[in-house]
Amino acid sequence: MAIDAQALADSLHIDADSTELATLNDLIVTATELVKDSVAYSQLDNFTPDQLSAVPLFESAVKALATALYYDRTLSNGMPKAVDIMIVHLQGRLRGF
């Protein structure tokens, strides 16, 4: 299942007006691309949203990063440690290490 702005808003207890949902959707798109680029596994570009959802930890990494971006758009403290850990795990899993 692809990550949904409404579901993320619900999990963060954010009032889901159209502006907030649009913001969350943009952050989900950004987080998805950042995670894909950070994993650096070229085959991810060919995955459908359902296939990405089936990759263990992919959605968790995207949700965690989208949440971090929601509260700190510039990631002034860098990538959250939990996201770093999930990306390293994804790199190993996808590359067969």
Phi-psi region of 78 (alpha: psi -120 to 50; beta: other; left: phi over 0): left
Query: Is the pLDDT at 1 greater than 90, yes or no?
Result: no
Residue 81, amino acid: K
What is the distance between the alpha carbons of residues 27 and 25, in angstroms, rounded to a whole number? 5
Query: Is the pLDDT at 43 greater than 90, yes or no?
Result: no
Query: Is the pLDDT at 70 greater than 90, yes or no?
Result: yes
Query: Is the pLDDT at 97 greater than 80, yes or no?
Result: no
Say if CB 27 and CB 12 are below 8 A apart.
no
Q: What is the pLDDT of residues 9-28, one digit of tens each?
A: 999 999 889 999 999 999 99
Write down the pTM of the prediction: 0.89
Query: Is the pLDDT at 59 greater than 90, yes or no?
Result: yes
What is the distance between the alpha carbons of residues 2 and 87, in angstroms, rounded to a whole number? 18
